[in-house]
Amino acid sequence: MAELDDLKEAVCRANRLLPTYGLVTLTWGNVSGCSRNLGAMVIKPSGVDYEALTAGDMVVLDLEGRQVEGRFKPSSDTPSHLVLYREFHELEGICHTHSPWASAWAQAQRPVPPLGTTHADHFYGPIPCTRALTADEIAGSYEHATGLVMAETINRGDPFAIPGVLVAGHGPFAWGHSPDEAVRHALILETVAKMAAFTLSVHPETPLLAQSLLDRHYRRKHGPGAYYGQGSPAT
């Protein structure tokens, strides 16, 4: 099936970008893609090195989590990805890593505040952090509970206004309209998390970026008035 083959290629390529972008140590990260047409999710197999990955190694599941294709076990984070795809129908790619700067904010259980225009270009407000999981949630279906606690935290109105979230004590998840875009958002999240940590170490009382600047930067790249890049006429 051509569409499924394309998705497996796209998910494989996106996973291989993780070491290229310096977002992973060992195999601590995974990317998935979702086709609404096919009702299928494709994800990296568990514990396989990125360099060795081929499209044929990808694992295919239905959105209830039943494996329909692939000789490997899927990533152990699969239930978290599935919850997000079921809860937010616009998502077509998800990227999870333990990239150090974003994970530092997740471990501190603090949202990443918008302090500059790099943040504002891509995240329209603070990048939120979930609440901590309860002991029962951790003891039960832990990865499923991780998905639910993210779903509880993500903006229902427009999940793409802030295309990432920190899981308390764990690390970042980012998403996009494709597996590639999810990785790009994970890279931007890592970069703005690093910038914010440096900024607050230089000046702990740094104020939040002015709302007018946050609005201006976000809207020149997103929405009906967007004019950044080559996609629309310059103003």
Backbone angles phi, psi at 6, to 5 degrees: -60, -40
124 a catalytic residue: no
Q: How many whole angstroms separate alpha carbon 160 and alpha carbon 141?
A: 27
Q: Which one from 6, 21, 57, 121 is the annotated catalytic residue? A: 121
121 is catalytic: yes
**Catalytic residue among 62, 142, 227, 228, which?**
228
Strand partners, 59: 43
- Angle, vertex CA 189, rays to CA 185 and CA 192, nearest 5: 135
Tokens in use for 20?
A: 């290229």
Type of residue at 12? C
**Whose structure tokens read 């990317």?**
31
Q: What's the CA gap between 105 and 87, in Å, rounded? A: 25
Q: Edge-to-edge, what's the strand order for the sheet holding 67-69?
A: 67-69, 59-62, 40-43, 29-35, 93-97, 171-176, 164-167
Helix axes 142-153, 78-87, angle to 10 degrees: 30
- Catalytic residue list: 121, 228
